[in-house]
Amino acid sequence: MHRQVLTITLILLMFNVFGRDEGSTTDDSGLAFEDKLAACAACHGVNGDAPLAPDYPVLAGQYKDYLQSALSDYKTGRRQHIIMNMQVEALQLSDSDIERLSAYFASKSGVVGLGE
């Protein structure tokens, strides 16, 4: 539990560290899509293929539908995990964010050979 709290704190700090690109559009949350992606990258890797910890999943190369449904389930609370439920909430992921993020990570090459 302590590690999760620490991680979440680090993520919040990160928002101050990452400057916002000039000209990127923000939505009601005050965040641009790039900001949301940068938050995901902190734990899952820029391409979704470099998880921060062994129990953090690889997103790269997973089916877009699967990622989309997982994120929607975190949003509705159907799937419970403190970290991801908080991410979806803090970043105010819209359905269109969920669609774009899922398409982005699905388009990346998956990690081959894990578990072999």
What does the binding site for ligand HEC look like in residue numbers (CB under 6 A)?
Answer: 7, 11, 36, 39-40, 42-44, 56-57, 59, 67, 70-71, 81, 83-84, 87, 91, 93, 101
Identity of the residue numbered 100: R
Q: Tell the smallest beta-carbon distance from residue 20 to ligand HEC (Å).
A: 16
Sign of CA dihedral 101, 82, 90, 9: negative
Distance CA 34, CA 40 (A): 10
Residue 32, beta-bridge partner list: 26
Nearest approach in angstroms of CB 19 to ligand HEC is: 18
13/23 with CB nearer ligand HEC: 13
**Please, which residue, 25 or 80, has the CB nearer to ligand HEC?**
80
CA atoms of 68 and 95, how far apart (whole Å): 9
Minimum CB distance to ligand HEC, residue 34 (Å): 12
Q: Provide φ and ψ at 32, rounded to 5°.
A: -85, 160
Least Å distance between CB 22 and ligand HEC? 22
